Amino acid sequence: MPTVRKALIIGAGIAGPAMALALQKAGIDSALFEAYPSQAGGVGAFLTVASNGVDALDVLGAQDVLAPAFTTPAIVLRSSTGRFLGRTLTGVKLRDGTTSQTITRPDLYQGMHDAAAERGIAVEYGRRLVGINETPTGVQARFADGTTAEGDVLIGCDGVHSTVRNLIDPHARKPAYSGLLTTGGYVQEVPVDTEPGSYEMIFGKRAFFGYALAPDRSVWWFANIPRGEEPAPGALEMSDDDLRRQLIDLFEGDAGPAAALIQATETPIPLSPIHTLAHLPNWHRGRSVVIGDAAHAPSPTSGQGASLSIEDALVLAKCLRDIPDYTSALDVFVTQRRARVEPIIKWAARINSNKASGLFAAKIRDLVLPPIMKLTANNKAAIRQFAYHVDWNTPADISAR
């Protein structure tokens, strides 16, 4: 019997609902708190859930979350002249033949909330955590609206700019600006020369562009723009017209459909800086712990952030299920997950620097990338990354501290 009976989960993005589902599977109650007043709908960016994330959702029994997604098994990389640089896989084929899936962020969040709601787990919206008090027998969460909640442990699933992380260790290094800004959009009826589900990515002369053709023939695109200094808050606000104009200038002269897609996008997603968190010395203190982006935020280039968050939830639930002393359970969790996530973060940072590099570096990259891509697609480490499976029935190993 686990001694942890109730967990307070802070943040209902991806890790939060996954955590609540995994704890319920482990026989542990939870309460799930989200700062936003409601589930944000509307247009948002999209992301790819790699095969290991699809598998983790399957272990959770939440595979229906991916109903609105489409399969994106591979990426084709091209230079600014359209030269083919390489092809790499986004995942492995799972037993039922499924592989990586691309989905809009609002659809993924909504699906996670629905999966939780179906099992009687409600998200408590408008509850922004501002403080944590440890008591001799438990932990108390304090919210901005003056309310409080009590539990045996508190799990921070509150994203890359985590409050819980800051409360666990106020001196922890802040997430780093990656040197890239991001934007994107969705377009109907602009023909592109690619197969549905195939991701095309272009190292443009001045910025990086990616797009995928969805089964309904809409094109989903994103752009990463190198910018040395992190812009001040508010400095990226501009009209849709200005953003389109700036982006079209950036991709002028590059081969591929970037300019046409940007031109046809009615509402481009506002520009925002990308942050990463490579190494966090203390993932837990006392009864509080962080998971997901709050603990480790790889560059989006990895295509792994969401999947790692879901894996975290399963592994932590297993540790709390099988290891009666919560301190040991949290230690085992951190040791196991650090070994899994940190090599992925390092690998993604290397690719990220390719996206952010200047023109001279880009020439060298175009020469060396094809052999590297071949390596990545076939290499054992990549297969290990995508084929990772959380075995729910094998007890957590307390000696793995």
* Interface stretch with ligand FAD, choices 42-50, 74-82, 277-285, 315-323 (CB under 6 A): 42-50
Q: Does 293 bind ligand FAD (CB under 6 A)?
A: yes
Q: Round the CA-based radius of gyration of the chain to a whole number and report it.
A: 21
One residue of 31, 47, 168, 258 binding ligand FAD per CB under 6 A? 47
* Interface stretch with ligand FAD, choices 156-164, 197-205, 225-233, 250-258 (CB under 6 A): 156-164
Q: Does 142 bind ligand FAD (CB under 6 A)?
A: no
- Of 77 and 157, nearer to ligand FAD (C-beta) is 157
One residue of 129, 212, 280, 315 binding ligand FAD per CB under 6 A? 129
3-state SS, the chain, equals: CCCCCEEEEECCCCHHHHHHHHHHHCCCEEEEECCCCCCCCCCCCEEEECHHHHHHHHHHCCHHHHCCCEECCEEEEEECCCCEEEEEECCCCCCCCCCCEEEEHHHHHHHHHHHHHHCCCCEECCCCEEEEEECCCCEEEEECCCCEEEECEEEECCCCCCHHHHHHCCCCCCCEEEEEEEEEEEECCCCCCCCECEEEEEECCCCEEEEEECCCCCEEEEEEEECCCCCCCCCCCCCHHHHHHHHHHHHCCCCCCHHHHHHCCCCCEEEEEEEEECCCCCCEECCEEECHHHCCECCHHHCCHHHHHHHHHHHHHHHHHHCCCHHHHHHHHHHHHHHHHHHHHHHHHHHHHHHHCCHHHHHHHHHHHHHHHHHHHHCHHHHHHHHCCCCCCCCCCCCCC
State the nearest-atom distance from the C-beta of 85 to ligand FAD, in Å. 20
Count of residues that bind ligand FAD according to CB under 6 A: 33
* Interface stretch with ligand FAD, choices 168-176, 290-298, 335-343, 357-365 (CB under 6 A): 290-298
- CA distances from residue 114 to 60, 122, 168, 315 in whole angstroms, order as listed: 14, 9, 30, 22
Q: Does 307 bind ligand FAD (CB under 6 A)?
A: yes
Q: Does 304 bind ligand FAD (CB under 6 A)?
A: yes
One residue of 43, 45, 377, 382 binding ligand FAD per CB under 6 A? 45
One residue of 157, 202, 320, 372 binding ligand FAD per CB under 6 A? 157
Query: x/- contact string, 238-277, with ligand FAD (CB under 6 A)?
Result: ------------------------------------x---
State the nearest-atom distance from the C-beta of 181 to ligand FAD, in Å. 10
State the nearest-atom distance from the C-beta of 365 to ligand FAD, in Å. 21
- Of 184 and 366, nearer to ligand FAD (C-beta) is 184
The residues with which 284 forms a beta bridge, in sequence order, are: 289
**Dist CA 147 CA 127 (whole Å):** 8
- Residue 333's closest CA among 366, 292, 298? 292
Q: Does 36 bind ligand FAD (CB under 6 A)?
A: yes
State the nearest-atom distance from the C-beta of 364 to ligand FAD, in Å. 26
* Interface stretch with ligand FAD, choices 30-38, 243-251, 343-351, 361-369 (CB under 6 A): 30-38
State the nearest-atom distance from the C-beta of 367 to ligand FAD, in Å. 27
Torsion of Cα atoms, 301 then 302 then 308 then 309, to 10°: 0
One residue of 31, 34, 178, 314 binding ligand FAD per CB under 6 A? 34
* Interface stretch with ligand FAD, choices 14-22, 194-202, 335-343, 350-358 (CB under 6 A): 14-22
Q: Does 305 bind ligand FAD (CB under 6 A)?
A: yes
Q: Does 179 bind ligand FAD (CB under 6 A)?
A: no
State the nearest-atom distance from the C-beta of 376 to ligand FAD, in Å. 16
In the complex, the residues that contact ligand FAD under the rule CB under 6 A are 10-16, 33-36, 45, 47-49, 128-129, 157-159, 163, 182, 274, 292-294, 300, 303-307, 309
